[in-house]
Amino acid sequence: MIVLITGMMAAGKSTVAQGVAERLDKSVHLRGDAFRRMIVNGRHDMSADATDAAYDQLLLRYRLASAAARTYADAGFDVIYQDTIIGPVLNDVAELFGDSLSAIVVLNPSTSVIRQREIDRNKTGYIRFSVEELHQAFRTTPALGHWFDTSDDTAHESVDRVLKLINSLR
């Protein structure tokens, strides 16, 4: 089974994906951002005024992640693939997986919750975008999969919601 967890930065993707993977018998938590960080020289990061090169590298990241996810799944692992995939490109990523994608989960807490989570966490995601700018792009994300408003959830409750979905698909 391959489950894609996406949403805005600070929506809880990493925490939820790790929690879900920890509660499955044979699992992988695949972090899409690892493919971006592997580029040592010549990296073009996404920003509000992204270049064609940045967009090409973003698509490369998604292609690499989908190939890795399918390879792990073919080896018998449940894969929880977590990445920031927002806007119309979510359609393209879903197509990369084809029938091998079991579910798409979009974590969708309120922007006020995202702002607070950004303050509370150990890393800073909103350097090239403001929460509002990314939310504008997020609003163009197609309504694929299962959208969870996790504004009032604890991390454990969000993990439980995703596991309940996974169990319903088995």
pLDDT at residue 85 above 80? yes
For 158, how many CA atoms within 13 A lie in the half-sphere containing its CB? 26
**CB 147, CB 104: distance < 8 Å:** no
* Structure tokens given for 117: 């989570």
More confident residue, 117 or 85: 85
pLDDT at residue 115 above 80? yes
Least confident interval from 38-42, 86-90, 125-129: 125-129
153: closest CA among 120, 117, 121, 103? Answer: 117
Give the total number of structural domains in the chain.
1
**Range of 95's domain?**
2-169
**Where are the extended beta strands (E) located within 18-166?**
27-31, 78-82, 103-107, 146-148
Note the pLDDT tens digit of each residue in 128-138: 677 888 888 88
For 17, how many CA atoms within 13 A lie in the half-sphere containing its CB? 28
Mean pLDDT over the full length of the chain: 93
pLDDT at residue 127 above 80? no
Note the pLDDT tens digit of each residue in 4-61: 999 998 999 999 999 999 999 999 999 999 999 999 999 998 877 789 999 999 999 9
Give the CATH number of the domain where residue 65 resides.
Answer: 3.40.50.300
Neighbour tally for 80: CB within 10 Å: 28
pLDDT at 126: 64
